[in-house]
Homo-oligomer: A and B are copies of this chain.
Amino acid sequence: MQHPPSSPKVEALLVVGSLAFDDLEMPSGTFENVLGGAATYSSLAASLIGAHVRLVGVVGTDFDEAHLERLRKRGCDTLGVERAEGKTFRWRGRYAADLMSRTTLDTQLNVFADFRPKIPAAYKSSPYVLLGNIHPTLQVSVLDQVEKPKLVAADTMNFWIHGEPKALAEMLKRIDLLIINDEEARDLSGIHNLVKAAQDIKKRGPTKLIIKRGEHGALLFDDAGVSFVPAYPLEDVRDPTGAGDSFAGGLMGYIARYGIESPHALRRAMYFASALGSFCVEDIGPARLAAITKGDLARRIDAFAQMVDHGAKLSFVD
């Protein structure tokens, strides 16, 4: 099998989710009006790999067009970004000294409160779809508007798991891949052991499940079995905001760029996902993700490849 394919057919990735401004109280200082939102991080990650990103979201009148222009320069189509009267979604949070936990200090939904994703006609045939963490009913409404995508991935959170279990159950039946963290997997299934939790969740709809574990990497559960990708070991972590969204964007960006011809493709995509997540946390907000080049990505993927290389077939024959 060749990688990357000699003439890859790049296909479009539809990304639906939030664009926001974050106020981040970090141990290293307070940073206000930082560009944020799941769709922002996912689009930056996916476009770096070379995916054709089609972005759907909503911003307020205070959202500088330059932010969208930068996304367009990266190859993101922003036709689906609606500009509504009012202010852009804003979140303020404070991180603990070790960056391992954070507290939400303020959430102002603003124009995001009335967000009803409208998929432009030009986006409807997108073969790959990434549904960011929005109300599960809105996630389903996106799928009602698109034509038979090859792979639909979705994120969700405890707020919907506990508050909208019925809508969430409907959403799970409509997607192929759920990407959540370990705490969410335990909450959703009610099972502490992650292997058993994954079996339970896969019965609810998605044939594929990725459980993210932050600095401990991520597990993929699909019909080919269980697979694992480590987190890239970093010397300096500045801001974990958006790491999970960068992971999801990197994953789906790889799939859109190189296809999903075999279970191995998803396994390789996991490394690109983890690489993009690792870049994200190296600076405040999406600064590092926006600054890195394809060369930086190639070098990190090489470092990952070396990190997991054991030089020969792994086997035990006595």
Contacts and interface: CB of A to CB of B under 8 A. Distances in A.
Interface string A196-219: 100000000000000001001101
Protomer copies: 2
Interface residues of A, number: 57
Contacts of A264: 309-312
Interface string A248-291: 00000000000000111101101110000000000000000000
A65 interface: no
Contacts of A311: 1, 3, 262-265, 267-268
Nearest to A224: B306
Given A213-B216, A217-B216, A234 B195 contact: yes
A127 interface: no
A308 interface: yes
A304 B225 CA distance: 11
A3 B313 contact: yes
Contact of A219 (B233, B298, B313): B233
Interface centre among A195, A225, A233 (most CB of B within 10 A): A233
B307 A294 contact: no
B318 A314 contact: no
A26 to B, nearest CB: 16
A271 to B, nearest CB: 6
Nearest to A1: B312
A35 interface: no
6 tightest Cβ-Cβ pairs between the two chains A and B = A264-B311, A3-B312, A305-B314, A216-B216, A267-B310, A228-B230
A99 to B, nearest CB: 10
A7 interface: no
